[in-house]
Structure 1
């Protein structure tokens, strides 16, 4: 297996040391007058690399704004081209990061979606977006994200265990505006008023971090909060088993399209999960069966759910066991890979 990437932050993980990694030149969102030439150069470079390194049995690509050579190479070579789509990237880029060459992004998307044999959407909402953008419905399939259930386990040694008798609430992820951290801070403050033994573990970094830390400090909660900033992936399992309840407090959002990795990691680690009742989360988490669901944006409901878990250790244990069972049943990466290969085998080339 070969990997083509614009950026590789770390060495391949254990078991994948034999991967051949090919580096391609990244393309940003430049001025439309010159951006078309940069896109063409990127795709010419990638096409040449694929031609030299092949032949391949299939091409699997994660959709990005400016790459189309992978799917067009597969179509030309007469092999399956599978495109994983994690988000409505064009609208997301425009809303959160700025998009100067919207026309170029539209054209790349149209060509890429047309060339792909199979489009793999991580949620129903992403699948709907693909179909609105012209992808044929019979080529669009929903496969949510998964988790490595051997790495995320309930028996991993806790990295930062709390004091005896304490109750630790945890959040893992990039601290971005759409993660509902303001709601978490308010909910935790309410919990702390009733339960001084409550603690908060925040794992991650991002643009909302400074505001979150300032809010916690202003409320006098800095002494019961542990913020780790960004951590290496191998540290996350032990941090998760350090918490009693793990939260995904997403705010209300029209067309919530995420398939949050953090939630699958929480479940695999056997944590008692509290998540917002939005989008795909309603199908992954069944209230009072393998987790608790709250109305999005409702700090009072989130605080009440956390207080319930604090007071009922048996409930935490039951939800944690069911959470782990949910992952083992259908949300491991092995299960995801098996479904992907099944779809690839069905492609008529």
Structure 2
């Protein structure tokens, strides 16, 4: 099928959360939906919500199925339990769609959409954001392995294209049965106009004042959920008089007992997160099993120095390791490297300049959307991949 022959391309994006819920995957799907819509694609998003309903959000149809979110609130596990309407909604909207694009194999929304796509013979495209994520709970780790060995394997074998953001995840999906020729590297995009450097010292000072941050000193920013895989606890332990730690995200209770020098901004909307990047000097994210998180891309686009985990998955990005600091997940190593960056303003300037130029060249959302549209058209072409539609 083509847009010209049968009207606009119709795509169902499937994600366990969607804004206003805050998180990396939902931000990616939200941006994809907006840019695909701007390119003329008809987009429906299937996701969870506090109540069921269908809304129009900036030209994107959003179908929410009521869910219980207690696992995230109580245990920090972002796994919504959706109501019985989920499969009915999935069947309804897969019949409507030319292509179903499922984000991550781990969630109930993904399982329902895959089941519905098989029943309606609708082609499937997948994005796998992470490989196995380390978790302190043995039960969570066991469930994670079981899900990927079953639903994950079904999705990776059945998808006509699988997008990954780093080499570790690419190896992971191939291990689940994805055909190597169907696995494609596709970095997340970033809004380089929203996430931009401070124009000058005066603007940085104004952003600090507006956010209630101290006017002087080096500020090290963390953005994300306060869960162990993000490494927020390692960063807290690396607190030092040479810099001030600034945290944006939640839950706030996770910072109980932090030193008085630690600053908490709360959970911020994207525009406020962008302001926080401009107000700070260094972005630090000692996370694990995440590949190339969206917050790293946002920080790079914002033109500040970046410190993150030395993850083998970063190899596909060919980063200049003198301009992006990649370190082990070790508290003392974090502290030493942050001290070095705090005392060297010229190093921070060079790192920020490199990061901004890299982001503008590599992370443009229009390029990301164009690759998706090309893939959707190929997947929805009659007879293009009939073996996967039976």
TM-score band by shorter chain is 0.7 to 0.9
Secondary structure in structure 1 of the residue aligned to 2:49: coil
Deviation at 1:29, TM superposition (A): 11
**TM-score for the superposition, normalised by structure 2:** 0.69
Correspondence list, 1:259-270, <5 A: 259-270=292-303
After TM superposition, the structure 1 = structure 2 runs for residues 163-174 of structure 1, keeping only pairs within 5 Å, are 163-174=214-225
Give the C-alpha shift of residue 344 in structure 1: 3.1
Q: Report if aligned partners of 1:65, 1:108 keep a CA contact under 8 Å in 2.
A: no
1:1-349 to structure 2, matched below 5 A, reads 1-7=43-49, 17-26=58-67, 42-51=86-95, 54=96, 56-63=97-104, 64-66=106-108, 67-71=110-114, 80-88=123-131, 95=138, 97=140, 106-155=149-198, 157-158=203-204, 159-161=207-209, 162-189=213-240, 192=241, 195=242, 198-206=243-251, 210=253, 212-214=255-257, 216-217=258-259, 222=260, 224-250=261-287, 256-281=289-314, 284=317, 285-289=319-323, 291-297=324-330, 299-347=331-379, 348-349=384-385
How far residue 111 of structure 1 moved from its aligned partner, in angstroms, is 3.3
Note the residue ranges of structure 2 that are not aligned, 5 or more in a row.
Answer: 1-42, 72-81, 386-390
Greater Cα shift, 228-237 or 339-348: 339-348
C-alpha change, 1:318 and 1:107, in structure 2 (3 Å) is closer
Distance in 1 separating the partners of 2:308 and 2:143: 35
- Residue 94 of structure 1 and its aligned partner are, at CA, apart by 7.5
SS at match of 1:310: helix
Which stretches in structure 1 are left out of the alignment for 5+ residues?
A: 31-37
Distance 1:104 1:261 in 2: 24
Give the TM-score, by structure 1 length. Answer: 0.76
Q: Is the 8 A contact 1:295 1:301 kept in 2?
A: yes
Contact 1:246/1:271 (8 A) holds in 2: yes
**Residues 39 and 21 of structure 1: is their aligned pair in 2 closer, same or farther, counting only changes over 3 Å?**
closer
Q: RMSD in angstroms over aligned alpha carbons?
A: 3.7
State the match for 2:76 in structure 1. none
When you count strand as a share of all residues, which structure comes out higher?
Answer: 2
Three-state SS of the structure 2 residue aligned to 1:148 is coil
Query: Residue 302 of structure 1 aligns to a residue in which SS?
Result: helix
8 Å contact kept, 2:132–2:144: no
